[in-house]
């Protein structure tokens, strides 16, 4: 198996085009053609993760955080991080990251976080401006409509909320005149032919249009299928920065904070808000979500996130919104076993290990 084959699985889960423009997601060390015998899933590519990869005989580390964030301006081995990158390359260990694209997709960081906290009735929290959609239109003989529909929907088209295979078709007549070198599915060369067809339409996330068109062409009986890709206004509601949902019943903020600490298996949480206030509607935003406080809907009782600074906390107080800061690592680390599980499911012959890094912060209570 190659790095590219493993990355293809991850790219389908979290398309790279959904990463924010400033992100550094993707393959940072190694080459797509490099052979892979085993993979290590990790939150960050630290020296401890590097040691774990060598112990697992893994030649690919799949992480959430990119191993290279700021450009390496010199290859000096007296810089610890540069030295680590050089050692990874020398050891033949490739590094791939799914970062902000994994934050915003269904089943990504925030979905795993919401599941850990037992939230139900999940819906999007904040729009992702670059998560556009298009409409694919093509024309198919009636006999091949089911095959084309199954192919494009299997590639990620036709999803609306909790429904899949959402398409539309209408009857019509197409015309074509095959040339001398053509191999028409039906009709005769050197004459204008009329063919009963179905006009087939389906919504497609822009991030998946290449795969969907490829699937359509593969299933379509025509040598040269005609199709349109129509840009649409608005963004895909399934792509969201953060999620919101409800607890089974209202609890005090103090009690919920204790639940968050336990469910996320962290040493501590920080809390903003009156401990006895009742909360039920919860927003989750893994990683560093403090800067988004001004955009959180007013009906959210509490935001669970990490890296909340002093001024973020004051802003939340002014809005009357509670916050539980469970740390950057605490709100993201559970994506690691989820990624490992996805890879095992998609590539059952590949050995996949996972590494749960320690939070670098320690709490002093005396």
Report whether pLDDT(313) > 90. yes
Q: Where in the chain is the domain with CATH 3.40.1390.30?
A: 3-98+334-355, 106-128+240-326
Q: Where in the chain is the domain with CATH 3.30.70.120?
A: 133-231
Domain 3-98+334-355 has CATH 3.40.1390.30: yes
Average pLDDT over residues 243-260: 98
Residue 210 is encoded by which pair of tokens?
């290449």
3-state helix, strand, coil in the chain (%, to 5): 35, 30, 40
Each residue's pLDDT tens digit, 145-190:
999 999 999 999 999 888 999 999 999 999 989 888 888 888 888 8
* CB-based contact 269:150 (threshold 8 Å): no
Q: How far apart are CA 150 and CA 173, in angstroms?
A: 23
CATH architecture of residue range(s) 133-231: 2-Layer Sandwich (3.30)
Cα three-residue angle 320-326-329, rounded to 5 degrees: 140
Residue 302's pLDDT is 98
Each residue's pLDDT tens digit, 52-111:
999 999 999 999 999 999 999 999 999 999 999 999 999 999 999 999 999 999 999 999
Residue 326: CB atoms within 10 A of its CB come to 28
Each residue's pLDDT tens digit, 201-237:
999 999 899 999 999 999 999 999 999 999 999 999 9
Q: Which CATH superfamily is domain 106-128+240-326 in?
A: NIF3 (NGG1p interacting factor 3)-like (3.40.1390.30)
Each residue's pLDDT tens digit, 254-310:
999 999 999 999 999 999 999 999 999 999 999 999 999 999 999 999 999 999 999
User: Residue 32: exposed, middle, or buried by beta-carbon count in 10 A (0-12, 13-18, 19+)?
Assistant: middle
Residue 196's pLDDT is 94
């Amino acid at each position: 198996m190659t790095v590219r084959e493993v990355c293809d699985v991850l790219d389908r889960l979290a398309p790279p085009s959904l990463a924010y423009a400033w992100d550094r997601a993707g393959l940072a060390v190694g080459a797509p053609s490099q052979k892979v015998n085993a993979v290590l899933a990790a939150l960050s590519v630290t020296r401890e993760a590097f040691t774990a990869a060598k112990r697992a005989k893994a030649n690919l580390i799949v992480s959430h955080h990119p191993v290279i964030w700021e450009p390496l301006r010199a290859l000096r081995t007296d810089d610890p991080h540069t030295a680590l990158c050089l050692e990874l390359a020398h050891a033949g260990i490739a590094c791939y990251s799914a970062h902000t694209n994994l934050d915003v997709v269904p089943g990504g960081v925030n979905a795993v976080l919401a599941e850990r906290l037992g939230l139900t009735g999940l819906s999007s929290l904040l729009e992702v401006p670059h998560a556009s959609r298009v409409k694919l239109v093509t024309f198919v003989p009636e006999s091949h409509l089911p095959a084309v529909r199954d192919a494009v929907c299997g590639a990620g088209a036709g999803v609306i909320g909790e429904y899949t295979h959402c398409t539309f078709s209408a009857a019509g007549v197409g015309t074509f005149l095959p040339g001398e070198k053509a191999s028409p599915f039906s009709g005769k060369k050197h004459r204008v032919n009329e063919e009963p067809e179905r006009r087939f339409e389906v919504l497609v996330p822009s991030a998946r249009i290449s795969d969907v068109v490829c699937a359509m062409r593969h299933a379509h009986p025509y040598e040269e299928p005609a199709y349109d890709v129509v840009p649409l206004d608005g963004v895909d509601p399934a792509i969201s920065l953060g999620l919101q949902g409800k607890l089974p019943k209202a609890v005090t903020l103090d009690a919920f904070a204790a639940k968050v600490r336990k469910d996320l298996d962290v040493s501590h949480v920080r809390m903003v808000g009156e401990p006895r206030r009742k909360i039920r509607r919860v927003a989750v935003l893994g990683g560093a979500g403090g800067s988004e406080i001004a955009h959180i809907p007013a009906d959210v009782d509490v935001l669970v996130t990490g890296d909340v600074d002093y001024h973020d906390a004051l802003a939340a107080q002014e809005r009357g919104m509670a916050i539980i800061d469970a740390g950057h690592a605490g709100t993201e680390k559970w994506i690691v076993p989820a990624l490992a599980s996805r890879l095992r499911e998609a590539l059952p012959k590949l050995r996949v290990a996972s590494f749960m890094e320690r939070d670098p912060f320690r709490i002093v209570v005396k």
